[in-house]
Chain A
Amino acid sequence: MKAFTHWSLFFLLVPLIGTAIFVAAPAMNLWLPKDVSVMGGEIDHLFYLILWLTGVVFLLTQILLAFFVWFYDARRRTEPAIYSHGNHSLELFWTVIPAFILVFLGLYQIQAWANLTMRPPEDPALEVEVTGRQFEWRIRYPGPDGEFDTPDDLYHVNDLHVPVNREVVVYLKSEDVLHSFFLPNLRLKQDIVPGMTGRVWFRAKEVGEFDLVCAELCGWGHYKMKGRLTIQSQENFQQWLKTMANEQEAVQ
């Protein structure tokens, strides 16, 4: 029986299957969730940029690997192996190019990073406090007076309602352990450290119901910490606040 001689083709399957998965994933609904944030495009752009860069490098190196496997096959080449000790210009080449890419990425994403973490909206339309606790999201709105810590604060749980096309600031707290406030559709993820108040902001551009999940393993009930983000039109949101306030004041 003739032995299998085309191992190089086998190794070529790695880049092929890898690429095929990436091409097929969006069609199979396994790709990024729908982006409904004004800032989301920026994040996705960075994601795709890095994906392309690493993707190209991945393909090149894998194809090169397959080529070497084929080229240096002992059955094909009979001359003995030569052991070399480095090639100065080659090493310079593959050190300087990645370093250059890294510096480029570092500079390129500075704006996005600053927008996400250093430039809070000056006059947000809504401030809301979200407190993670094992295992739920406790939500507090400041109520009609716009100030927390007053008797008209509105309390809710697991269902974060926000208006569309408005700046929203979320204060993040934890009552117990590390949690991570993750809104996949808004491309927003922020760890919550107990004892610290986190602050994130976003502006949604589409109404709908989306996931709010905990992205930091926070205990045995971590999977339970699935909430809902409800993005509503301004009128519906105000209406909802009013309904909530009435419910909270129920005396019958």
Chain B
Amino acid sequence: MTAAAPLDSRLRGTRARRRNERSVKAVLLFAAVLTVAISIGIVSSLIFEAFEFVRSVDLGRLFSAGWFPRRGLFDLPTVLAGTLIVTAVAMLLAAPIGLASAVYLAEYASPRARSIIKPVLEILAGIPSVVLGFFALTWISPNIVRTLFTESTGFSLLAAGLGVGILTIPLVASISEDAMRAVPNSLREASYGLGARRVTTSLRVVAPAAISGIVAALILAISRAVGETMVVAIAAGASGGSLFTADPRDPGQTLTAAMASLATGSDNVTGNSSAFLSLFFLGFVLFLLTLGLNLIGDVFVRRTRQVY
């Protein structure tokens, strides 16, 4: 009994290791809690200044002739309409192209073709948005927009929307492809076993089974398009301010582009003027909009995970 330490004291383990384990855990927890602090930072920096803006500005100014922050005109419908148009154009391009690419990759492509195409899509996803903005202004606008609508000036919501659409194609394609690949093969085999062809199997069996993931892909793409800044700031054209427009061929302003131009260039405002504060007001509106979309998208993403 004296040869070895008593068993029960050995079963206790060493104090040094217990302390070590505790401190590791503390460090890790600290890092995790830091992410919550960041969220709190974002929300509070937005809320206070946005509230300050709403208090300092005559609310009638939120509905006026257009968005001219330096003149005290903060027409919300102008920037919301711009955002809506850009997002709609982007989705009209990205949804069909992205979904078709996803179906091809998930149901038609050989593993070899997939191994080549997927990385290319991922490269496209990694192209900085400022590059696509320049591309939208210098290539899409003269070659596509002005070919279709000769009266366009070069800057247009349409060109910006197409640029944003190209940016979101990989997002739509990759999320919905994941959803379709998650559909168990037994369903496909059941369909083929009944004599169905590949089109029928893709459209009637796989796509409905993956519908939650597809919806999620579209919602998250919308959220991405709403929040996209640089493409619109470069290609939509309205750097100073903008009158209300519902025509995609016109130059225009979105939530995000208005923020970019408030922070830079001709509208480089600082200090506590209401133009500066409007930056935070726009940010807050944008934050709420994308948060809502992301939460809805998340519900659909989780639904796909639950089914199988």
Chain A bound to chain B: no
Q: Which A residues fall within an 8 A CB radius of B?
A: none
Q: Which B residues fall within an 8 A CB radius of A?
A: none
